[in-house]
Chain A
Amino acid sequence: LAKTTQPISMDSYEGQEVNITCSHNNIATNDYITWYQQFPSQGPRFIIQGYKTKVTNEVASLFIPADRKSSTLSLPRVSLSDTAVYYCLVGDMGSSASKIIFGSGTRLSIRP
């Protein structure tokens, strides 16, 4: 199983760029890197997914170095509503779902 390690918590301020790094040293060739966001009493929401290099969508960017042993979720100009728990998952979504593990995530707190 490809285990991930993320910071337990992070703090930032409105308008800042926030980068959350996830380590996944034993990532397999077929594994994708997927990030989810979860607000209290809601289900996780898919943010972004990538395999290598850089992926960007309307809400975030995902940077993946060549060795793929880590990845960084970048949230530009955060607001108070970005306060949530962010999960980094690594796995081959096409294989057994039980191999896709939600860890403890990173609790991001945004201050005014």
Chain B
Amino acid sequence: ETGVTQTPRHLVMGMTNKKSLKCEQHLGHNAMYWYKQSAKKPLELMFVYNFKEQTENNSVPSRFSPECPNSSHLFLHLHTLQPEDSALYLCASSQKTGSGNQPQHFGDGTRLSIL
């Protein structure tokens, strides 16, 4: 139990579908992150939220749309995805950004497959 819960754990969707990934953290953290991990590739940072405000967008295509309604919840809305978007999507949280050495706590990810 890492304190960061992601749902669903697995998702299969067609390219025209719309779905959402959910992340919830129970650690009292104020920063949340989305990462993409493709097969045998390093983690790629996608988005960063600090106190509910998006502070970083790492040139992510608009077919990925994040939402952070509060410091405990983070969503990733998906629409019109491509086969190359199939990957493990990881959510992480940390105390906050901009304050020294803050290790990130990760969920176990959503395994996304695009048909």
Contact = CB atoms under 8 A, between A and B. Distances in A.
A70 to B, nearest CB: 19
Interface residues of A, number: 23
B104 A32 contact: no
Interface of A: 32, 34, 41-46, 49, 51, 92-98, 100-105
A43 B108 contact: yes
A95 B100 CA distance: 7
B103 A46 contact: yes
Interface string B70-112: 0000000000000000001011101001111111111111010
Majority DSSP secondary structure for residues of A touching B: loop
Contacts of A44: 43, 90, 104, 106
Contacts of B97: 93-97
A41 B88 CA distance: 8
7 contacts: A44-B43, A93-B94, A93-B101, A94-B99, A95-B97, A97-B55, A97-B97
B33 A41 contact: no
A43 B42 contact: no
Interface of B: 2, 4, 31, 33, 41-43, 45, 48, 55-56, 58, 88, 90-92, 94, 97-109, 111
A100 B58 CA distance: 12
B20 to A, nearest CB: 19
Contact of A43 (B2, B48, B101): B2
Contacts of B106: 43-45
A93 B108 CA distance: 21
A102 B111 CA distance: 19
Contacts of B104: 44, 46
A42 B41 CA distance: 14
A49 B103 contact: yes
A95 B107 contact: no
A98 B94 contact: no
B48 to A, nearest CB: 5
A103 B42 contact: yes
